[in-house]
A and B are shown apart, each in its own frame.
Chain A
């Protein structure tokens, strides 16, 4: 069966510090991968998605970036965090097949920028 991992689970970082959040998927090959941010416990904002190694698309201009160095690894980064980067970050994956449409989410990382 497939599983998705995210770490760390929680993170407190000062303004201006760098960030690296990691997401890995097990049990599937060539998944589509997604990074979302959820602010104030409500709506989801799609930040980045990837359909393959090294292929990243950004949905929202900001000081965050994403990379996919391996097929099942997706990394969210920042060189200098802002207070507004605080939130709950969720990674998700889906199978790129026409008959399978749902996304599966990881446990999330709670980021607090102080």
Chain B
């Protein structure tokens, strides 16, 4: 069964500093991994995905994520945090075992990122 763990409920970082939001996964086949961001009282916005290819994936708003197969991790990173990056971040893995076109995603519990000025 597929699952995702986000070990930190909360990450705090000063503006201008690099940020990392951690995610580890468990899958039965090749991992298809995603990051989403949610601002208060809004829907989730897609940031980036890893399907295959380069281990470093670049996404929206200057975010990137590094896929590490040996550590089964897919950490979200940004070189220089902004106050406007403060939001709830979700990691997700795609279900490949129940028909490849269904597209079910399994989400982590989310990590609240706070960037202070």
Contact with A along B31-67 (1 / 0, CB 8 A): 0101010000111111001010000000000000000
Binds B, one of A11-19, A63-71, A73-81, A90-98: A90-98
B101 touches A96 (CB 8 A): yes
B94 touches A44 (CB 8 A): no
Closest B residue to A4 by beta carbon equals B43
Closest B residue to A49 by beta carbon equals B104
State in angstroms the CA–CA spacing of A74 and B109 once bound together. 25
Q: Which 3 A-B pairs have the closest CB atoms?
A: A105-B43, A96-B101, A94-B103
B102 touches A49 (CB 8 A): yes
> Cβ of B105: which chain A residues have Cβ within 8 Å of it?
103
Out of A41, A90, A92, which one reaches B88, CB within 8 Å?
A: A41
Binding site for A on B (CB under 8 A): 32, 34, 36, 41-46, 49, 51, 88, 90, 94, 100-105, 107-110
State in angstroms the CA–CA spacing of A97 and B46 once bound together. 17
Within 8 A of B (CB), among A96-110: 96-98, 101-108, 110
Nearest CB in chain A: distance from B82 CB, A: 21
Nearest CB in chain B: distance from A65 CB, A: 19
A110 touches B44 (CB 8 A): no
> Cβ of A88: which chain B residues have Cβ within 8 Å of it?
41
Out of B36, B43, B88, B103, which one reaches A107, CB within 8 Å?
A: B43
Closest A residue to B45 by beta carbon equals A105
> Cβ of B32: which chain A residues have Cβ within 8 Å of it?
101
Nearest CB in chain A: distance from B58 CB, A: 15
> Cβ of B34: which chain A residues have Cβ within 8 Å of it?
101-102
